[in-house]
């Protein structure tokens, strides 16, 4: 799992301040860069482009540059001979927190194999900008591997124009499934949720142009992708045609939200249930269900952060009246979503497998077992807070030092056990290699029973 960006912020207040300072510096640099790159064009906005427009179209007043939002409205209305009302627009919003987004309408031609998007208009000068369509823009190591798209606005020049070889009459959305998207948590937080927010208004009448494409990724999420677009996915990096669209969105971000969050989370979970034909909308209500047993799903892990005494755990849960299933999460989401949806309580050690809580029925309970190492911030940001937004009940079980297998690997007075913050300060790599990669969990069943009992109480209320 990769946490660099978030983790960096979990350090000290001091570090956070430095981060904020860095962020404002970055904004400043972006602004400066924009101004430099677009100077030739910005100079003629907004006044002189109005002169270019011969018709008196009241819409033209909408086009302006706003130094407040750093939003660039590059192109004035395009008034083609036949359709006066038709407009060419290119709007890039670089002030969004997670992803830059460019939206364009008009005559758009995409040369996939060179990652270049051309917007033709007779009314503009030439200008260009670059964009990486992945929603984790302040995380350098995530963004490194993301394809950079160049968006060029080009003055129409008759014959010199790139010829369309494939003409599409529906809009397109360009996004990346690279970065951290291999990880289940990031697949949802960085791609699926932002994609849902960006695409659902199109009612499936939109084509997905995927960069950094991996067939494993798109087949894993095919049910969701098909629910959002009724067209085949286009692997844009390997496209040797000139694909032309009437409108294109590059990048994914509708909302500035926290991890795994969206304003309409209710709609999102409904969307998941309909994509995978899940039956249960709410978890069992133990107050009026005397015969049925509540179901507990224990998410096990094999390689790291494994439960060492899973048999004891299962036994204890059964004594509490749970019907217990133990599973390691795999990539078959049809299977995983049904299994999770059939349960009322899901528990597991902090890790990407817990992302599957998105399939739990409402009022279900998530129990996150938090390993040794001052991991509270990660635990909350990744799963604690999001679970509440999803209408789930959340319980956290922080293990004590004695329940960590790190005590078998380090002397009791070692800083790994005594002062995890000192390891955090050495950086993410050092921290991860110990607390996430070398640690297993031997639950104190006596102590854990309290959490199990609270989960039952929650199913009663
Ligand atoms: C704009 O068009 C309207 C009719 O559509 C006309 O009455 C008006 O005089 C025009 N204004 C200018 C400045 O040409
Ligand atoms: C844009 O900047 C100019 C000059 O710096 C300033 O006068 C104007 O108020 C600013 N506009 C907005 C919307 O902030
Ligand atoms: C650009 O994005 C920011 C953050 O989401 C938003 O507040 C702002 O209104 C957007 N600007 C425009 C012109 O859409
Ligand atoms: C804009 O770019 C096109 C294509 O590269 C070129 O043919 C044209 O001369 C350029 N126009 C201006 C005003 O620079
Ligand atoms: C890239 O695509 C263009 C068409 O847009 C094609 O002419 C060209 O041969 C392609 N380049 C390669 C290296 O395949
Ligand atoms: C569970 O059932 C009881 C009794 O019918 C009811 O009062 C309570 O509101 C129900 N709880 C939920 C969360 O639906
Ligand atoms: C995924 O799981 C479903 C339901 O359990 C099963 O029918 C399907 O064959 C599985 N697909 C793959 C590729 O294993
Ligand atoms: C397990 O937890 C119980 C209750 O918190 C505590 O009394 C007991 O000492 C713990 N056992 C071990 C081996 O730490």
Pairing of strands 393-398, 365-370: parallel
Residue whose CA is closest, atom 14 of ligand 2? 68
Q: What are phi and psi of 366, to 5 degrees?
A: -105, 125
For residues 286 and 426, state if they share a domain.
yes
Is 353 in the same domain as 397? yes
Nearest to 443 by CA among 307, 316, 306, 302: 307
Are 32 and 62 in the same domain?
no
Give which of 246, 264, 244 is closest to 255, Cα–Cα.
Answer: 264
Is the pLDDT assigned to residue 71 strictly greater than 60? no
Q: Are 234 and 206 in contact (CB under 8 A)?
A: no
* Token pair 């087949």: residue: 219
pLDDT of 378 higher than 60:
yes
Side-chain-side CA neighbours of 155 within 13 Å: the count stands at 6
Å from CA of 61 to ligand 1 middle: 15
Please indicate, yes or no, whether residues 145 and 210 belong to a single structural domain of this protein.
yes
Question: What contacts 183, CB < 8 A, 6 or more positions away?
Answer: 1, 2, 352
Q: What is the residue-averaged pLDDT of the chain?
A: 82
Q: What does the pLDDT read at residue 261?
A: 83
Counting the structural domains of the chain, the total is 3
Q: How far is CA 28 from the centre of its chain?
A: 25
313/245 same-domain check: no
Other C-beta atoms closer than 10 Å to the C-beta of 429 total 8
Q: Specify whether 75 is located in the same domain as 134.
A: yes
**Domain presence at residue 269:** no
State if residue 67 touches ligand 2 by the CB under 6 angstroms criterion.
yes
Q: Is residue 312 part of a domain?
A: yes
Is residue 444 in some structural domain? yes
In a domain, 261, yes or no: no
Whether 68 and 194 map to the same domain: the answer is: yes
Domain encompassing residue 137? 52-250
Query: pLDDT digit string (tens) for 278-296?
Result: 999 999 999 888 789 999 9
Q: Are residues 107 and 14 in the same domain?
A: no
Residue nearest to atom 8 of ligand 6 (CA): 461
| Pair (207, 315) in one structural domain | no
What atom in ligand 4 is closest to the CA of residue 157? 7
Is residue 264 domain-resident?
Answer: no
Please check whether residue 95 lies inside any domain of the structure.
yes
pLDDT at 158: 61
- Structural contact between residues 207 and 231, judged by C-beta atoms closer than 8 angstroms: yes
pLDDT digits (tens, 9 = 90+) for 215-270: 999 999 999 999 999 999 999 999 999 999 999 999 998 777 788 888 788 899 99
Question: Does ligand 8 come within 6 angstroms of the Cβ of 444?
Answer: yes
Q: For the purposes of burial, counting CB atoms within 10 Å of the CB of 134, is it exposed (0-12), middle (13-18) or buried (19 or more)?
A: buried
Give the containing element (helix H, strand E) for 144. Answer: helix 140-144
Q: Do both 9 and 132 map to the same domain?
A: no
CATH value at residue 438? 3.40.50
Same domain, yes or no: 215 and 334: no
**Nearest Cα to 334, choosing from 265, 260, 272?**
272
């Amino acid at each position: 799992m990769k946490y660099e960006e978030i983790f960096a912020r979990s350090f000290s207040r001091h570090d956070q301040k430095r981060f904020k300072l860095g962020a404002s510096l970055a904004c400043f640099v972006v602004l400066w860069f924009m101004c430099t790159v677009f100077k030739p064009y910005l100079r003629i906005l907004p006044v002189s482009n109005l002169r270019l427009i011969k018709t008196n179209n009241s819409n033209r007043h909408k086009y302006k540059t706003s130094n407040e939002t750093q939003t660039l409205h590059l192109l004035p209305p395009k008034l083609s001979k036949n359709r006066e009302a038709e407009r060419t627009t290119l709007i890039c919003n670089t002030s969004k927190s997670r992803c830059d987004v460019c939206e364009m309408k008009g005559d758009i031609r995409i040369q996939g194999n060179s990652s270049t998007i051309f917007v033709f208009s007779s009314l503009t000068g030439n200008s260009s900008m670059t964009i990486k369509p992945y929603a984790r823009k302040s995380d350098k190591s995530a963004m490194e591997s993301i394809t950079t798209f160049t968006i060029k606005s080009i003055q129409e020049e008759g014959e010199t124009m790139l010829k369309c070889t494939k003409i599409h009459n529906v809009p397109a959305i360009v996004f990346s499934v690279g970065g951290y998207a291999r990880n289940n948590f990031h697949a949802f937080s960085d791609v699926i949720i932002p994609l849902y927010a960006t695409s659902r208004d199109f009612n499936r009448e939109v084509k997905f142009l995927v960069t950094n494409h991996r067939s494993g990724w798109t087949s894993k999420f095919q049910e969701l992708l098909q629910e959002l677009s009724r067209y085949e996915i286009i692997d844009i990096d390997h496209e040797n045609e000139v694909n032309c669209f009437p409108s294109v969105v590059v990048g994914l971000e509708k909302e500035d939200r926290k991890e795994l969050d969206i304003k309409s989370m209710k709609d999102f979970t409904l969307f998941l249930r309909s994509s995978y034909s899940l039956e249960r909308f709410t978890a069992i209500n133990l107050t009026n269900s005397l015969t049925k047993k509540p179901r507990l799903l224990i998410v096990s892990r094999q390689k790291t952060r494994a439960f060492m005494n899973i048999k004891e755990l299962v036994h204890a849960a059964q004594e509490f009246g749970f019907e217990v299933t133990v599973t390691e999460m795999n990539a078959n989401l049809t299977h995983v979503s049904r299994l999770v949806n059939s349960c009322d309580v899901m528990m597991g050690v902090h890790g990407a497998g817990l992302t599957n809580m998105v399939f739990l029925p409402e009022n279900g309970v998530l129990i996150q077992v938090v390993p040794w190492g001052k991991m509270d911030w990660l635990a909350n940001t990744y799963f604690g807070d999001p679970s509440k937004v999803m209408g789930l009940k959340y319980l956290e079980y922080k293990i004590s030092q004695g329940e960590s297998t790190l005590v078998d690997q380090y002397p009791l007075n070692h800083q790994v056990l005594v002062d995890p913050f000192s390891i955090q300060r050495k950086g993410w790599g050092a921290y991860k290699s110990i607390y996430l990669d070398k640690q297993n969990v031997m639950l104190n069943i006596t102590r854990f029973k309290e959490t199990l009992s609270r989960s039952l109480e929650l199913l009663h209320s």
